[in-house]
A = this chain, B = another copy of it.
Amino acid sequence: MNHPSDALAHFELWRSTHQADVERALSTWVTADAPAGLGEAMRYAVLDGGKRLRPLLVLGTSEAVGGGRESALRAACAVELIHAYSLVHDDMPCMDNDVLRRGKPTVHVQFGEAQALLVGDALQALAFELLVPESGVEPQLGSTLCRLLARASGGQGMAGGQAVDLASIGLALDQTALEHMHRLKTGALLQASVMMGAACGAPDENATAELQRFGAALGLAFQVVDDVLDVTADAATLGKTAGKDAAADKPTFVSLMGLESAQAYADRLLGQAHLALQATGLPRVSPLHALTDWVGRRTH
C-alpha cells in the first residue's frame, strides 16, 4: 500500500464498492410507488448517473469516525436526494433552462415542467423521511441528521445560495461575494455531507472542528474546479451543457481571476483540505484524502 498506484487502486475499489452500495440503496428507497408517473420520474432524476461525491463523503467520514453503517447509508442517500432535487429544479426553464444533464434530457424535458416541480418537491420530502425510519437510526441521531440537512439545504444554505446566484447575474462580484455565494450554493451541502458522516460516529472536539474545515475547503475547491471545467471541458465529457455560466453572464472564479489563477486556487484549497484531514488525528482518513484528490483530478 506504499506505492501511489497501489493507493489509487485501493481507492478505486473503495469508491466503486461504495458507489454500488449507494446506487442499490437509492434504487430501493426511491420506489416507483408514487402515483401518476411521479415515482418513475423520481427514479429517472436520481438513478444511473452522477459521481455520488456527496454520499461518498458521508460514507468516508462515517468510516473515519467509526459510525454505524445503516445510519451512514441513509444519510448518504438523503444528501444525494437533496442534491438531485436541486438539479431538477435548477434545470427548469425559470431557472437555468438546461436541457441536458448527466447525458440525458433533463426531467422537465422528459416529463414536463409540472411533473419536474413535483419530482423535486417529493425528493426533498423523501430525503428527510430516509433519516427517520421507525427503526435503524437512533432518534437522537436522526434528529441531528435532519437538522444538519435542513440547515444546509434551506434559505440560509443551498436555496439561499441559489437566490444570491440569480440576483448576481450580470453583476461584477468580487472574490469575497463570489465565495460567499458558493459557500451557500454548493459548499453548505458538501460540508453537511462531511458533518452528517461525522454525526454517525462520535469524533472529539478537535476532529469535529477539523472536519468542518475539511468540508469547507473541499466544498469551495469543488466549485472552483467546476468553474474551470465549465470553460475547459466539452458537453460530452461533462454530461451537461458546457460554457453555460459564461453564456449566462454569471460571475465565476475563472472570469474573476483568470484560468491559471483559478486552477492554482483550486490546488491551494485542496491542499488545505488535506491538511485539515491530517489535523483530525483520525486513523482511517485515506479514502477522504483520495476523494479530495479525485475532486482535484477533474481539473487536469
Which A positions have Cβ atoms within 8 angstroms of B?
A: 33-39, 42, 85-86, 89, 92, 94-95, 112-115, 117-118, 120-122, 124-126, 128-129, 131-134, 137, 139-140, 142-144, 146-147, 149-151, 153-157, 159-164, 166-168, 184
| Inter-chain contact B126/A42, CB cutoff 8 Å | no
- Please, how many angstroms separate the alpha-carbon atoms of A160 and B37 in the complex? 9
- Between-chain CB contacts (< 8 Å), 29 pairs: A34-B154, A34-B160, A36-B164, A36-B166, A38-B159, A42-B155, A89-B117, A89-B121, A94-B113, A94-B114, A94-B117, A118-B159, A122-B155, A124-B124, A124-B125, A125-B154, A125-B157, A125-B159, A126-B150, A126-B154, A128-B128, A128-B146, A128-B150, A132-B146, A132-B147, A132-B150, A139-B142, A139-B143, A139-B144
Question: Nearest Cβ in chain B — how far from A45, in angstroms?
Answer: 11
Question: A35 to B134, Cβ gap below 8 A?
Answer: no
Q: Which of B42, B114, B147 contacts A95 (CB 8 A)?
A: B114
**Copies of this chain held together in the complex:** 2
The answer on a CB contact under 8 Å between B134 and A147 is: yes
**A253 vs B167: C-alpha distance when bound (angstroms):** 43
Specify the main secondary structure of chain A where it touches its partner: helix
A149 to B95, CA, bound (A): 28
Residues from chain B with a CB closer than 8 A to the CB of A117 are 89, 92, 94-95, 117
User: A160 and B121: CB pair below 8 A?
Assistant: no
Give the distance in Å from the alpha carbon of A117 to the alpha carbon of B162 in the complex. Answer: 10
Q: How far is the CA of A37 from the CA of B155 in the complex (A)?
A: 10
Q: Determine if B150 and A125 form an interchain contact, defined as CB atoms under 8 angstroms apart.
A: yes
With A132-B144, A155-B33 given, is the CB distance from A160 to B122 under 8 Å?
yes
- Check if A155 sits within 8 Å of B39, measured CB to CB: yes
Q: Give the residue name and chain of the B residue nearest to A164 (CB).
A: B36
